[in-house]
Amino acid sequence: MSNQLSITGDDAIIETRDQMVAVFDKGSKPPADWRIGTEHEKFVYRTADHRAPSYDEAGGIRDLLMGMTRFGWEPVMEGGNVIALKGADGAISLEPAGQFELSGAALETLHQTCAESNRHLKQCREIGGELGLGFLSLGFWPDKARSELPVMPKGRYVIMRAHMPRVGSLGLDMMLRTCTIQTNLDYASEADMVMKFRVSMALQPLATALFANSPFTERRPNGFKSFRSHIWTDTDPARTGTLPFVFEDGFGFERYTDYALDVPMYFVYRDGKYIDAAGHSFRDFLAGKLAVLPGEKPRVGDWKDHLSTAFPEVRMKGYLEMRGADGGRWDRICALPALWVGLLYDDVALDAAWQLVKGWTPDDHDRLRREVPRLALQAASPNGGTLQDLAKVVLDIADKGLARRARLNGSGDTEQGFLGPLREIAASGMTNADRMLASFAGDWAGDVSNAYAAESY
């Protein structure tokens, strides 16, 4: 190992705890530099028979990736296979069973975010139309058993698939049968991170309720409105959940570092390959005692990789990730960042949201996490009434936050309009899961395959 390797960037050998904490500290940015990152996944299916295509079949996932290169996307290779794309709009990647994900660029406004999402979906429809592929906007496959789904040729997924059944009963469902929308946001300082982390963690069940969109399993109602969210409660308790310590005195970058150190490892990436370290300790790695790499100490890049293997409802990686929402229709892709930007990127809104949740107890957080996947907006709010009532208040706060941001498009519109789909859900109390369940009992006549026509992009 060269001296140069040991002292530069992500290749720097971790010698002190400060280097790990610095990954979070370096994420601090002045408000003028705050950006919005949006990620959204979708299920790919054959339009002829709704089958999930494999990676290497004709017109399958590999051909879909390569087809997207006509729009300027550049292939990312692993083991001789194209497994992702990179370009001006961020990155396109594959989830374990071929779920197609856009990890969008870091953008200044929600107008830009929505334009980016619309560009991506238009590209998907163009290439998909040529290949006979469609894209479904739910949070969970409504009709597919695990055995009906392909597996993508990515090294980290081989390790995760072997490890998941050891630590939970639903981890393979998380990998193979779920889709989500996520929003990534910045913070100004450690104190600002703490406030944003607490507010977003407390309100993550509300986002889950508003975006509930996974009520079917293998062609039948599953008893949940967000089965995707329920799945995370039995995936791997060592790396998931609501992180009660976030609300404790003294929470900050160092406390999150301690948490991440205690999350068991999945892998180490070396020379283009993933080395299986599932269940091993990053603390042992720091001491040069990792069994699969004896005598070797981690680099800063290894620490960043490790941070990506924790899956709490809100995650920190030099920015904050909001992870509570099911996948959904195109306007939901714009609505999720609108909710969180309105709440977290305006100090008045952030304080108003904090006033709503600061009195919640650990039992309140736990109860919401348990009940919301099943009840969605009809779960009881710790503030009295239901989450539907709370949603109206929170959306008003977010709306005012977006108004104060005053980021206009070319027509002079603010960002407030992107909250429209959520305001409709809060007013009616009907999530997309509720609407589909009503259709299943009515016009669909018990045939969940109607979801393909109703819920595709």
Per residue in 362-382, pLDDT (tens digit) is: 999 999 999 999 999 999 999
Phi/psi at 176 (nearest 5 deg)? -95, -25
184, 182, 157: which is closest to 172 by C-alpha? 157
Measure CA 348 to chain center. Answer: 26
Residues found in the chain: 457
Domain count, the chain: 1
Span between the terminal Cα atoms of the chain, in Å: 49
Determine, yes or no, domain membership for 284: no
State the residue range of the domain holding 367. Answer: 34-263+310-455
Question: What is the DSSP code (8-state) at residue 186?
Answer: -
Query: How does residue 159 score in pLDDT terms, banded at 50, 70 and 90?
Result: very high
Determine, yes or no, domain membership for 109: yes
pLDDT of residue 228: 98
Question: H or E element: which one contains 208?
Answer: helix 190-210
- Give the residues across from 135 on adjacent strands: 44
* CATH code for the domain of 47: 3.30.590.20
Q: In terms of C-beta density within 10 A (0-12 exposed, 13-18 middle, 19 or more buried), how is residue 79 classed?
A: exposed
What secondary structure does DSSP assign to 18-35, as a single string? HHHHHHHHTT---GGG--
Residue 71 has pLDDT above 60, yes or no: yes
What is the distance between the alpha carbons of residues 37 and 55, in angstroms, rounded to a whole number?
A: 27
45, 142, 147: which is closest to 98 by C-alpha? 45
Question: H or E element: which one contains 40?
Answer: strand 36-46
Determine, yes or no, domain membership for 75: yes
Determine, yes or no, domain membership for 56: yes
- Give the residues across from 275 on adjacent strands: 268
What is the distance between the alpha carbons of residues 55 and 41, in angstroms, rounded to a whole number?
A: 17
CB atoms within 10 A of CB 204: 24
pLDDT of residue 6: 46
Render pLDDT for 93-148 as a digit per residue (tens, 0 to 9).
999 999 999 999 999 999 999 999 999 999 999 999 999 999 999 999 999 999 99
Render pLDDT for 258-290 as a digit per residue (tens, 0 to 9).
999 999 999 999 999 999 999 999 999 999 999
- Average pLDDT on 176-184 reads 98
Question: H or E element: which one contains 402?
Answer: helix 387-405
Task: Report pTM.
Answer: 0.97
E-strand ranges in 234-358 read 240-241, 267-270, 273-276, 311-312, 314-316, 320-326
341 neighbors 402 (Cβ within 8 angstroms): yes
Determine, yes or no, domain membership for 155: yes
Determine, yes or no, domain membership for 211: yes
